[in-house]
């Protein structure tokens, strides 16, 4: 069922049915994300997670019917990045998977930019340049310095506002859903109340950019889908 959910989103999924099989597959070829159930034949998911963590920092997400707090804590202590309790909705699973993969790509891009060799190529459409600095039109984001400039003017953003704007800039030209923004920036599970937090952040960003130039609409709403910044991000230095 999980494999079908993700394949419907065009992900390449390899399904396995035991802990030993999972470790063998992981050792044979690289994967970008591992989804584990705690209850599996033979070796359980906790042990699989522990062994993977000995050699890899790949994102690991537990999917389990065990919803006791001790189970969640143990899973996270073993090295998991997230824990989703069954039953769950397809949208929640897909949103969390997308959020984890976006963080992975951001980490790889940062590693490639600073020469640490932690990742593969950076964001699609982004040119190599000064690390941590991206520009879309008149908007410039310095993720390392946590500074934003619009038309050369520094814009004072709250931490969550900066995180949302930075994610939109990294994905310039693409629509990012409220769930993806919330999962990535707040690092919490998305629910019905979370959408309001994202909307408040977007309003704050728009208001502060409008204080510099009210004639430009930088952050666009794609109704029923999410938010986007037009154009493509380029890495640039001052």
Q: Do domains 2-88 and 123-235 have the same CATH topology?
A: no
Span 227-231, mean pLDDT?
86
The encoded tokens of residue 181 equal 């923004």
pLDDT in tens, 84-119: 888 888 888 888 888 888 887 776 666 555 554 333
Domain ranges of the chain: 2-88, 123-235
Reference 179, options 159, 157, 165, 199; nearest CA is: 199
Distance, CA of 66 to CA of 68 (rounded, Å): 6
pLDDT in tens, 123-181: 433 333 445 688 898 999 988 888 899 999 999 888 888 889 999 998 888 899 999 99
Dihedrals phi, psi of 186, to nearest 5 degrees = -85, -20
CATH class of 123-235: mainly alpha
CATH class of 2-88: alpha beta
**How many residues would you count in the chain?**
238
pLDDT in tens, 206-226: 999 999 998 888 999 999 889
């Amino acid at each position: 069922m999980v494999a079908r959910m993700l394949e419907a989103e065009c992900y390449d999924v390899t399904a396995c049915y035991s802990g030993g099989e999972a470790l063998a597959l992981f050792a044979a070829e690289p994967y970008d994300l591992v989804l584990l159930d705690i209850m599996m034949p033979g070796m359980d998911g906790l042990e699989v997670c522990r062994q993977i963590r000995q050699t890899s920092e790949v994102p690991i997400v537990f999917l389990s019917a065990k919803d006791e707090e001790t189970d969640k804590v143990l899973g996270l202590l073993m090295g998991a990045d997230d824990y989703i309790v069954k039953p769950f909705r397809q949208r929640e699973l897909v949103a969390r998977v997308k959020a984890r993969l976006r963080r992975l790509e951001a980490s790889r891009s940062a590693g490639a930019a600073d020469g640490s060799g932690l990742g593969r190529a950076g964001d699609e459409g982004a040119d190599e340049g000064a690390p941590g600095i991206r520009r879309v039109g008149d908007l410039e984001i310095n993720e390392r310095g946590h500074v934003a400039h619009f038309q050369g003017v520094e814009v004072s953003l709250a931490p969550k506002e900066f995180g949302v704007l930075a994610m939109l800039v990294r994905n310039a030209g693409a629509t990012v859903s409220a769930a993806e923004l919330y999962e990535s920036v707040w690092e919490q599970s998305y629910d019905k109340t979370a959408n309001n937090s994202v909307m408040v952040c977007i309003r704050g960003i728009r208001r502060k950019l409008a204080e510099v130039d009210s004639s430009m609409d930088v952050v666009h709403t794609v109704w029923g889908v999410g938010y986007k910044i037009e154009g493509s991000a380029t890495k640039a230095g001052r």
